[in-house]
Amino acid sequence: MECQVKKNKIVTIAIIFLIVLFAALIAYNFLPEKSKITVSQNGTPSTPEQAGGGQRSGGGSRNATTVRVTPVAPGTIERSVIINGDVLARNQVTIYPTVGGKLVGALLAIGDRVNSGDTVAMVDPSRPGEVYSRSPVVSTVSGTVLQAPYSIGDTLTAQSAVYVVGDLSSLLVETFVPERFVAVIRQGLRAVLWFEAIPGETFNGEVVEINPVLDPASRTMRIRLRFINPDPRIKAGMFATISLVTNRRVNVPVIPRISIINTYGSWIVFIVDENNIARRREVTLGLDNEEFVEILDGISMAERVVSAGQNFLSDGDLVRVVE
């Protein structure tokens, strides 16, 4: 009886061993090809890739990376600041009465033409129980009435602006420059202007007036610009958006800003040589803006800089250039 039990145990163990071995063989057949290990003639285990002579390793069999290139070319690069301003008449004068009193005559309206020496309003300085002659308000300049803030019956003082008269034949744009940019502001500095009332068009201007003192409250400096090519569609009182060119370089090597990569504090680009091999270059940057950057050192004119696909490259990679 005891022998029969031992025999049954041996048979059971043998069956379990065969099942485990069969399962292991099935699992091995489903392993990826590169994970299987063979034994070479000298007894050294190796993978099929190693046994095949390392065909998958080495740069010669790597796929070429698709890139787009841009030749380094001389160009003009500008840096600018975007600010807002208002269109004003060049000569804009406020007309005041000589005495205080009630406005009894307003002879002009906004848009009317006036000449120097014309009477534009009448003020009655009389008080209750007193009668005085009416006092005329005389324009000191010739131009067009831009503002007329008072109506007949209003009480004026000698500091009340009865009219604002300006010369609309010559317009200026007034704006205020933040303190951090005042060091580059100078007479003749160019600007590009555009208006919501004239969509799709830009106008050129230049700085003609600079206030030597900053406003201590806003920390800004007031400047005025003239239009290089005046346009009759531009009116006094319009709101202008101004791109003020604070720095400009001409005939310098420029490349697209997206071409450069910041690596641990250094700026690098990839150029493509005549064999379509990517070469890593460290560069020194100059003036830049939203689209382009000036290159001071590191690459030469006419070299092809990778402008798309550079983030996937390493030095020495084979590339395929597409338009």
- Supply the CATH number for residue 203's domain: 2.40.30.170
Residue 30: the pLDDT is 56
Q: Is residue 109 part of a domain?
A: yes
Residue 231 lies in a domain: yes
- The total domain count for the chain is 3
Domain that holds residue 121: 91-166
Report the distance separating Cα 121 and Cα 99, nearest Å: 12
Residue 84 sits in the same domain as residue 233: yes
In this structure, the answer to whether residues 84 and 214 fall within a common structural domain is: yes
Whether residues 188 and 84 share a domain: the answer is: yes
Q: 216 in a domain, yes or no?
A: yes
- 58 is a domain residue: no
Q: What is the per-residue pLDDT for 69?
A: 92
Q: List the structure tokens of 134.
A: 């009416």
Cβ-based burial of 304 (10 A; exposed 0-12, middle 13-18, buried ≥19)? buried
**pLDDT value at residue 48:** 44
Same domain? For 257 and 316 the reply is yes
Of the residues 122, 144, 166, the one at which a domain ends: 166
Query: Could you tell me if 238 and 259 lie in one domain?
Result: no
**How would you write the pLDDT of the chain (323 residues) with one tens digit per residue?**
555 656 677 777 778 877 877 777 776 665 554 444 444 444 444 444 444 444 433 444 468 889 999 999 898 888 888 999 999 888 889 999 999 999 999 999 988 999 999 999 999 998 888 888 899 999 998 888 988 999 999 999 999 999 999 888 889 999 999 998 888 899 999 899 999 999 999 999 999 999 999 999 999 999 999 999 888 899 888 999 999 888 888 889 999 999 999 988 899 999 999 999 999 999 999 888 888 999 999 998 989 999 998 888 889 999 998 87
Q: Are residues 181 and 84 in the same domain?
A: yes
Count of C-beta atoms within a 10 Å radius of residue 275: 7
pTM of this prediction?
A: 0.53
Q: What is the pLDDT of residue 58?
A: 41
